[in-house]
Structure 1
Amino acid sequence: MKKLIYLDGCATTRVDDEVFEAMLPFLREEYGNPSSPHVLGKRARRAVDEAAASVAALMGADPADVVFTSGATEGNNLALLGMFGHDDRAPVGGLFCPTDHKSSLAIGRALAARGVDVRTMRVGPDGRIDLQHLAGLLDLHSRVATTAWVNSEIGTVQPVAAMAALCHEVGTMLHVDAAQAAGRVPLRVREAEIDTMSLSGHKIRGPKGVGALYVRPEIRHRLRPVMFGGGQYELRSGTIPTHLVVGLGKACELALARLDAERRRAVELRATALDMLRAGLPGVRVNGDPRHGVPHVLNVVLPGVRGESLVSSLSTVALATGSACNSGSQEPSHVLTAIGLSAQDANSSVRICLDASMPFEDLVLGLDLIVERARDLAGVVVAMGGHAPFSPS
């Protein structure tokens, strides 16, 4: 079997070996329910509490502020739906970012169907929210505004602290989807005065099916549960999956310890990838503004190449045209069209997500294959002997 070069880390990541090892005992020997009063239950509860401390450390929060969930999608639903009730009488509103993940945008549509005044923030060509426009949208009826801290397709970092300040001037809460931000930017949720924030384990080399929601204690009373049961958490019932929670805790611990080193490594990998694309494919353009983005995400227009055709034709390189939630759609990316790209350019774009732990040789091999296949699809005439393999200066 040929080696697969994985360049789709925004969709999911491989579970880290240390995370896997930390989870194993809680699948077999330490199988107690954390809510049980006996010795196995107490040991499981201790492991859950330790995991909560690790998650909170990555967030810049206190362990008591952490609610374990099945992932960022559930966290977004708990936070955003939980701020509204079916019996709301006064006019209420919510503000959504048009480039966010569909797990947030779909909530906006559901709220609009309930009669909530859903408004859309404006973004610039770099994907950043227009703060002046946001300030004009906010009023005393605005209950919550929401955004992704880091965009999943172009890597844009939103000014969440400035957004929180604007929201709090009129009593509006700010929810942040940090699925792509965790492990890539310092979160410091208390310092930024964010009200609620979600993340997923599988984006940071943890297991799928587990995540966490931060809830600022000062606003916890304003959230309503959206599911009911044994009351394991005030906001989220259900048996706590100890092995998944332990895996998330370990993944958060490692992500925090590696944050600075992995960012520096991602900067190097991005520079190499961009050099190779520009050398092999004239006219390549970067979507978004790298000055306001994370280096791990590189989204580019490949003129004359349909992104879906490129992705599907590469048998040994895994990359994507955009967020995994859009993979079955034939429509151009809503993120790229929102920042002003034409449908043609959006359909000619691909997203390369860089794993800071990947060998440099794997990146070069992967980009060499991407360039070669893109040239074939674009009908570019290559001189006899092909193009030379990339060699960094």
Structure 2
Amino acid sequence: MDVIYLDNCATTRVDEEVLDAMLPYLREEFGNPSSPHLLGKRARRAVDAATESVAGLLGADPAGIVFTSGATESNNIALLGVFGHGDRAPVNAVFCPTDHKSSLSIARALRERGVGIRTTAVRADGVVDLARFANLLDFDTRVATVAWVNSEIGTIQPVREMAALCHESGALLHVDAAPAAGRIPIDVVGTAVDTLAMSAHKIGGPKGIGVLCIRPEIRRRIRPITHGGGQYDLRSGTIPTHLVVGLGKACQLAAARMAEDGEKVAVLRSIAMELLTRRIPGLRINGHPRAGVPHVLNLVLPGVRGESLVASLPSVALSTGSACNSDSQEPSPVLTAIGVSAEDANSSIRMCLSPRMTAEELVRGLNLVCDRARGLAGVVVARRAADGVAVL
């Protein structure tokens, strides 16, 4: 069965050019890039070229690129690495309540160690309240963290301003850019972000490879959390050349296509909103309707339980929120943090659009969503009427 894929925030399909770039390093060019012989040197050159491509997409210094297994590991290195095991409050860190579970889980781990954890406030559109953020920072704050783009509602955070506020108190700013890389321009040097995480599989690259980008000036403030052969001083382990090459190619393609892809997705979003608002009465957008990235749509479908809709649509792939929370029965913590009621949060779905899809494919998928949503809403109304509950 062909599946219409509307879940590109969870992962993306590997681009054919990325796959073609990787295959030689799984076959004839299989050398270890840390080896001194010819095969090793050729692999090292491929890794170095990929490093330049990654740095180019991120506006970063190539000397600060460290390859990891993905953004989750990168978040752990950046956020755990600024603390020692003996650190206790008043030493503290500042977290954003709408961030990815991999960051919020680190907050819990640090709290268990005795580190003070502070939570910044967000507005109803999901943007960090800068005044309240500044009030949380002091000279005992080691690090603050935020996702550049929220993967559930598409909010873009003011990372330049947050970095400046952090530096006034001597703190570092770590940014999770997994949902942002390749979708919006990123300039690590220009924004003075200290550390940044991304994953290849969010931009048409392979799973299992990502980046921790570190501003070279603050490198010595971060300790490794694992130890090994020293391929990178912060992250040991054999460098997976084929994955690194795939990431590099994906970054190269993303940089070249970003402007055009943004225009394509904006058109798809307009088509989606026109169709959905026409076919689903009372539909509402979670977050700011225009200020976020165009590829993310988080919608309240009145009278429809989001989980039921997703589960009953085998030919359309969409979600109720971040993939990391898919096993939870609780409403999305992102939506509740911005003031969405539990009822509306449970009636919400997330769509993530791709510039690779056609308008015809999108319309076909949305019509299936609308048909099923209207059917589920009708069942709810019928049940309430049978139970004697007034249906407004």
TM range, normalised to the smaller chain?
over 0.9
Cα separation, 2, equivalents of 1:142 and 1:34: 38
Give 4+ residue runs of structure 1 displaced > 4 Å after superposition.
Answer: none
2-structure distance, mates of 1:370, 1:121 = 36
Shift of 1:4: 1.0
2:58 is matched with 59
Q: Does the CA-based 8 Å contact 2:89-2:115 persist in structure 1? A: no
TM superposition shift of 1:359? 1.1
Quote the Cα distance in structure 2 between the aligned partners of 1:24 and 1:250. 12
Corresponding residue for 2:314? 315
Residue 323 (structure 2) pairs with residue 340 (structure 1)? no
In structure 1, the residue corresponding to 2:249 is in which secondary structure? helix
The alpha-carbon deviation at position 360 of structure 1 amounts to 1.0
Aligned residue in 2 for 1:122 = 121
Q: Does the CA contact (< 8 Å) of 2:7 and 2:319 recur in 1?
A: yes
Q: CA deviation at 1:63?
A: 1.2
Q: Distance in 2 between matches of 1:253 and 1:30?
A: 21
From the superposition, tell whether residues 337 and 50 of structure 1 become closer, same or farther in structure 2 (CA, over 3 Å).
same
CA distance in 2, matches of 1:259, 1:167: 29
Asked whether 1:221 is paired with 2:223, we answer no
Contact 2:61–2:215 under 8 Å retained in 1 = no
Cα-to-partner distance string for 1:359-382 (whole Å, 9 max, x where unaligned): 11100000000000000000089x
Q: Is the 8 A contact 2:87 2:114 kept in 1?
A: no
How far apart are residue 357 of structure 1 and its match? 1.2
2:262 equivalent to 1:263 = yes
Residue 291 of structure 1: how far off its partner (Å)? 3.2
Of residues 239-248 and 286-295 in structure 1, the stretch that sits farther from structure 2 once superposed is: 286-295
Relative to structure 1, is the Cα distance of residues 28 and 146 closer, same or farther in structure 2, using a 3 angstrom cutoff?
same
State the Cα distance separating 1:108 from its structure 2 match.
0.4
1:345: how far off? 0.1
Deviations 1:61-82 (A, max 9, x none): 1211100000000000010000
SS at match of 2:290: helix
Q: Distance in 1 between matches of 2:289 and 2:203?
A: 21
Q: Provide the C-alpha distance between the structure 2 equivalents of 1:181 and 1:232, rounded to a whole number of angstroms.
A: 27
SS at match of 1:291: coil
Identity fraction in percent: 68
Corresponding position: 1:10 with 2:35: no
**1-side partners of 2:316 and 2:87: how far apart?**
50
Match in the other structure for 2:350:
351
Q: Could you tell me how far apart the structure 1 residues matched to 2:114 and 2:198 are?
A: 28
What secondary structure does 1:350 align onto?
strand
Note the 1:1-393 alignment, pairs <5 A.
Answer: 1=1, 3-88=2-87, 91-379=90-378
* SS of alignment partner, residue 191 of structure 1: helix
Could you tell me which runs of 5 or more consecutive residues in structure 2 were left unpaired when the two chains were aligned: 381-392
**In 2: Cα distance, 1:17 partner to 1:293 partner:** 29
SS of equivalent residue, structure 1 residue 171:
coil
Deviations 1:318-353 (A, max 9, x none): 000000001111000000000001110000000000
Q: Deviations over 1:177-199 (max 9, x none)?
A: 00000011101011000000000
Report the CA distance between 1:107 and its aligned residue: 0.2
Q: What is the alpha-carbon distance in structure 2 between the residues aligned to residue 273 and residue 110 of structure 1?
A: 40
Flag structure 1 segments of 5+ consecutive residues without an equivalent.
382-393
How many residues are aligned here?
380
1:265-311 Cα offsets, whole Å, 9 max, x none, are 11111111111110000100000003321001000000000000000
CA distances 1:34-84 after superposition (whole Å, capped 9, x unpaired): 000000000000000000000000010121110000000000001000010
Could you say what secondary structure the match of 1:145 adopts?
strand
Query: 2:206, 2:246 within 8 Å by CA — same for their partners in 1?
Result: yes
- 1:276, 1:90 → 2: CA distance? 52
SS in 1 for 2:213: strand
Partner Cα distance (1:112, 1:362) in 2: 47
CA distance in structure 1 between the aligned counterparts of 2:294 and 2:164, rounded to whole angstroms:
27
Alpha-carbon distance, 1:100 to partner: 0.2
Contact residue 143 and residue 171 of structure 2 kept, 8 A: yes
Partner AA of 2:122 in structure 1? V
Aligned partner of 2:231: which letter? Answer: Q
What's the C-alpha RMSD, in Å, of the aligned pairs? 1.0
SS at match of 1:292: coil
Q: Does the 8 Å CA contact 2:88/2:113 hold for their aligned counterparts?
A: no
Counterpart contact for 2:89–2:114, Cα < 8 Å: no
Question: Distance in 1 between the 2:3 and 2:105 partners?
Answer: 33
Letter in 2 for 1:376: G
Alignment-mate amino acid for residue 69 of structure 2? S
8 Å contact kept, 2:91–2:115 = yes
Q: Distance in 1 between matches of 2:163 and 2:307?
A: 37
Q: CA deviation at 1:88?
A: 2.6
CA displacement, residues 125-154 of structure 1 (integer Å, 9 cap, x when unaligned): 100000000011111101100000000100
Give the Cα separation in 2 of the matches to 1:93 and 1:258.
40
Cα distance between partner residues in 1 of 2:4 and 2:304:
20
